[in-house]
């Protein structure tokens, strides 16, 4: 990774020279060297940067004066509910063009003019295309051609009559935008010139949320392994403490936290989080229910009389550590996707199907005790409003069962801030929003590793983004944590972290597997008889044999029903599974694979695990078909 960063800095410097000379020579046209074109293509391939993200790297051109008929309005002038669709109507267009588009801007006073001198700031996100330059990130955008009649002017209106005949006609279009209550008001801006060379034509009326203080997006986590306490975390525009009411009349006040633009990390050039991607997160409330029974259903509400109340929600506590069984879902790299046809920064196309499948599973009473999301959580990466969309997306699952997380590169990494990898993948978040939204039972801030027990499983959950080398804090912690597991109480030891030790997809430029990490930590997994290691980061599903140092120590045999069965009665080595297939565009497998790789499938989905005292059964669910793509079990007699 060190060599990558040196190369990266060299490219940045080259760009700085190129861009400085380009912007001083002309404001409306620019020279783009082949180096930039080629590296842009490279980065789009590696990090799935959308055309929309590149929009923010463009210089605004001068717009011709809009015609006097042009208008952009919303279907309703009333205020916005907590979640819904806003119809935007553009009319009075004399000559419809493919380049006409609408951006949703929030807050409404944001500066969407040109910022040519910010150019160099944005290169460090990994996007090496030409300069930004809307001064503030548009939450989402749609071309007017999304309305199928627009370019052919199906919706006509006569604007000028001469002697009873129409001599000037205009065209119109309607677009639908999905909006969640992210508290700040919004406006819609009509641009011409496409995403590449936008200019502003007209701005809509402003719309506000009916209740920007509304408590929203509750999600649960455990604070220990007893199954008797549950933390609820939610978001509100109100800073005053609120109440969590549960059980039969119990109530506990929330602790309130937030983060500011000053808490975001940055370098030169500035990060998106510190600059054009910033959005006020409101206030994050958290409160802990106590005195619960494990594996039991309760109801809760949260809020206050002044800010508003949530509806009544059912939750299920997980089984206590040391009890006979647990059922959980697990995956990595889910993110979010728009529910409208908009372009957005960093879309993870599988996330909607995966959350829908899991929500169906939970609401159908399919005995889900908890969920584990192993890094690359929202992919907001410095565009903070996207956390609100992500939290809204997971609420149908995360408000009902504990949603336990591990940190990934897209939450934490940033050069010079203590992350193992010096890439700018968090966009300047440096784990601050992640740790505020997802309060796990960790020992301290920016030490996001922990263990927890549910049923017959001990989970050791690490950060691959923080120092894991010998004698580091985290290494010592994982050594002690795994050595302390009482296997008569929790017979199964599952290890989770974001970056895998084994993957057949290993890029040349950006490596999926860090051999230094494997060398440092894999011996601990073997020494402590880890049964199963679950990883994300690579966007597909891959299962290994019982493997150590790339050699199969044991192969599964066919058990009852023909299911692959690893017998750990005589333990040999951990089974590894990459499960980063929950949302991000899928990674294809190469045509050949090493012997340790037994199953390779790239379909959107998640794994469903059922652990008893005798068997650990894993099923890979295809989120679109709901069929099982793979099943295996690890047994011990
Ligand atoms: Fe990742």
Cis peptide before 580, with omega less than 30 degrees from 0? no
Lowest mean pLDDT among 77-81, 150-154, 207-211, 233-237: 77-81
pLDDT at 269 over 80: no
Please tell me the distance between residue 343's alpha carbon and the centre of ligand 1 in angstroms.
22
Total Cβ atoms within 10 A of residue 328: 23
Please tell me the distance between residue 498's alpha carbon and the centre of ligand 1 in angstroms.
7
pLDDT at 198 over 90: no
Asked if the 322-635 domain carries CATH number 3.40.1280.10, the reply is: no
Name residue, tokens 């391939």.
45
User: pLDDT category, 299, cuts 50, 70, 90?
Assistant: very high
What is d(CA 446, CA 432) in angstroms, rounded to the nearest whole number?
A: 8
pLDDT at 92 over 70: yes
Please tell me the distance between residue 409's alpha carbon and the centre of ligand 1 in angstroms.
5
Please tell me the distance between residue 499's alpha carbon and the centre of ligand 1 in angstroms.
7
pLDDT tens digit sequence for 480-519:
999 999 999 999 999 999 999 999 998 766 789 999 999 9
In order, the DSSP letters of 505-543 are: ---SSS-SS-HHHHHHHHHHHHHTT--EEEE-SSSSEEE
User: pLDDT category, 4, cuts 50, 70, 90?
Assistant: very low
Mean pLDDT over 182-190 rounds to: 95
Please tell me the distance between residue 584's alpha carbon and the centre of ligand 1 in angstroms.
10
Question: Measuring CA to CA, which residue among 604, 631, 280, 320 is closest to residue 456?
Answer: 320
Please tell me the distance between residue 227's alpha carbon and the centre of ligand 1 in angstroms.
30
pLDDT tens digit sequence for 12-38:
433 333 333 232 222 222 233 333 333
What single DSSP character describes residue 65?
P
Check residue 43 and give its pLDDT.
39
Mean pLDDT over 443-472 rounds to: 97
Please tell me the distance between residue 38's alpha carbon and the centre of ligand 1 in angstroms.
23
Please tell me the distance between residue 505's alpha carbon and the centre of ligand 1 in angstroms.
13
Tokens linked to 86: 């806003």
Mean pLDDT over 94-115 rounds to: 86
Please tell me the distance between residue 375's alpha carbon and the centre of ligand 1 in angstroms.
7
Check residue 110 and give its pLDDT.
84
Please tell me the distance between residue 515's alpha carbon and the centre of ligand 1 in angstroms.
16
Check residue 52 and give its pLDDT.
57
List the end-to-end C-alpha distance of the chain, in Å, as a whole number: 43
Mean pLDDT over 188-212 rounds to: 89
359 DSSP β-pair partners: none
Contact indicator for 429, 446 with CB cutoff of 8 Å? no
Check residue 100 and give its pLDDT.
93
pTM: predicted TM-score of the whole model, two decimal places: 0.90
Check residue 11 and give its pLDDT.
42
Tokens linked to 559: 């058990």
- Name the residue with higher pLDDT: 214 or 424: 214
Please tell me the distance between residue 112's alpha carbon and the centre of ligand 1 in angstroms.
31
Check residue 138 and give its pLDDT.
86
Average pLDDT over the chain reads 88
- Name the residue with higher pLDDT: 317 or 422: 317
Mean pLDDT over 456-485 rounds to: 98
Please tell me the distance between residue 407's alpha carbon and the centre of ligand 1 in angstroms.
9
Helix 515-527 × helix 473-483 angle, to 10°: 20
Mean pLDDT over 422-443 rounds to: 95
Classify burial at 475, counting beta carbons within 10 Å of its beta carbon; exposed 0-12, middle 13-18, buried 19 or more: middle
Check residue 60 and give its pLDDT.
60
343 DSSP β-pair partners: 141
Check residue 2 and give its pLDDT.
32
Check residue 3 and give its pLDDT.
34
Mean pLDDT over 582-601 rounds to: 96
Check residue 117 and give its pLDDT.
53
Strands 255-257 and 615-622: unpaired
Backbone angles phi, psi at 3, to 5 degrees: -65, -35
Please tell me the distance between residue 516's alpha carbon and the centre of ligand 1 in angstroms.
17
Lowest mean pLDDT among 44-58, 118-132, 221-235, 461-475: 118-132
Please tell me the distance between residue 80's alpha carbon and the centre of ligand 1 in angstroms.
35
- Name the residue with higher pLDDT: 459 or 509: 459
Contacts of 108 by beta carbon, 8 Å cutoff, 6+ apart: 184, 185, 186, 187, 206
Contact indicator for 114, 276 with CB cutoff of 8 Å? no
Strand, helix or coil at 306?
Answer: coil
In which residue ranges of the chain is CATH 3.60.21.10 found?
322-635
Mean pLDDT over 354-364 rounds to: 96
Lowest mean pLDDT among 16-25, 66-75, 352-361, 500-509: 16-25
User: pLDDT category, 55, cuts 50, 70, 90?
Assistant: low
Mean pLDDT over 398-417 rounds to: 96
Check residue 199 and give its pLDDT.
85
Please tell me the distance between residue 45's alpha carbon and the centre of ligand 1 in angstroms.
15
E strands, 47-107, are 71-74, 83-93, 101-105
Mean pLDDT over 420-427 rounds to: 90
Check residue 241 and give its pLDDT.
98
- Name the residue with higher pLDDT: 569 or 343: 569
pLDDT at 438 over 80: yes
């Amino acid at each position: 990774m060190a060599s990558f960063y040196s190369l990266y800095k060299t490219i940045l410097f080259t760009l700085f020279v190129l861009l400085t000379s380009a912007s001083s020579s002309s404001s409306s046209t620019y020279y783009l060297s082949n180096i930039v074109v080629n590296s842009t293509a490279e980065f789009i391939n590696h990090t799935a940067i959308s055309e929309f993200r590149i929009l923010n790297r463009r210089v605004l051109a001068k717009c011709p004066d809009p015609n006097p008929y042009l208008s952009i309005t919303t279907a309703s002038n009333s205020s916005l509910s907590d979640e819904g669709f806003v119809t935007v109507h553009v009319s009075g267009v004399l000559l419809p063009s493919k380049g006409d588009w609408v951006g949703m801007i929030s807050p409404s006073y944001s500066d969407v003019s040109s910022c040519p001198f910010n150019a160099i700031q944005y290169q460090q996100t990994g996007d090496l295309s030409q300069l930004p330059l809307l001064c503030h990130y548009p939450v989402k955008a749609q071309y007017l051609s999304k309305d199928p009649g627009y370019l052919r002017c199906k919706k006509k209106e006569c604007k000028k009559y001469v002697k009873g005949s129409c001599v000037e006609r205009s065209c119109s279009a309607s677009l639908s935008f999905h909006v969640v209550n992210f508290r700040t008001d919004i406006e819609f801006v009509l641009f011409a010139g496409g995403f590449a060379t936008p200019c502003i034509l007209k701005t809509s009326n402003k719309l506000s949320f009916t209740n920007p203080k509304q408590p929203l997006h509750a999600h649960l986590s455990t604070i220990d392994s007893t199954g008797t306490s549950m933390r609820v975390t939610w978001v509100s525009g109100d800073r005053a403490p609120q109440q969590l009411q549960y059980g039969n009349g119990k109530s506990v006040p929330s602790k309130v936290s937030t983060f500011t633009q000053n808490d975001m990390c940055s370098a030169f050039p500035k990060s998106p989080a510190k600059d054009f991607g910033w959005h006020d997160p409101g206030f994050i409330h958290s409160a802990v229910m106590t005195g619960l029974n494990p594996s039991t259903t309760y109801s809760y509400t949260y809020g206050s009389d002044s800010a508003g109340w949530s509806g009544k929600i059912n939750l299920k506590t997980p089984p206590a550590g040391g009890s006979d069984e647990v059922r959980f879902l697990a995956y990595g790299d889910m993110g979010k996707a728009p529910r409208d046809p908009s372009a957005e920064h960093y879309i993870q196309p599988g996330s909607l199907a995966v959350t829908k499948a899991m929500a169906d599973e939970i609401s159908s009473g399919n005995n889900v005790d908890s969920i584990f999301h192993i890094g690359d959580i929202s992919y907001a990466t410095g565009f903070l409003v996207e956390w609100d969309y992500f939290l809204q997306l997971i609420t149908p699952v995360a408000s009902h069962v504990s949603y336990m997380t591990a940190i990934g590169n897209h939450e934490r990494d940033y050069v010079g801030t203590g992350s193992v990898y010096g890439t700018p993948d968090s966009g300047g978040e440096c784990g601050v929003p992640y740790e505020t939204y997802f309060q796990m039972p960790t020992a301290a801030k920016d030490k996001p590793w922990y263990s927890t027990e549910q049923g017959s499983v001990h989970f050791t959950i690490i950060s691959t983004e923080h120092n894991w080398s010998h004698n580091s804090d985290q290494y010592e912690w994982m050594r002690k944590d795994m050595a302390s597991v009482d296997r008569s109480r929790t017979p199964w030891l599952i290890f989770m972290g974001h970056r895998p030790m084994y993957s057949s997809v290993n890029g040349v430029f950006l490596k999926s597997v860090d051999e230094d990490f494997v060398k440092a930590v894999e011996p601990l997994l073997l020494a402590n008889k880890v049964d199963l290691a679950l990883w994300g980061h690579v966007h597909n599903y891959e299962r290994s044999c019982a493997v150590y140092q790339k050699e199969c120590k044991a192969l599964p045999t066919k058990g009852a029903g023909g299911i692959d069965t690893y017998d750990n009665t005589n333990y040999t080595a951990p089974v590894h599974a990459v499960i980063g297939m929950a949302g991000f565009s899928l990674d294809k497998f190469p045509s050949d694979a090493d012997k340790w790789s037994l199953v390779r499938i790239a379909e959107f989905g998640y794994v469903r695990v059922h652990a008893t005292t005798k068997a650990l059964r894993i099923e890979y669910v295809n989120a679109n078909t709901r069929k099982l793509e793979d099943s295996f079990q690890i047994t011990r007699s």
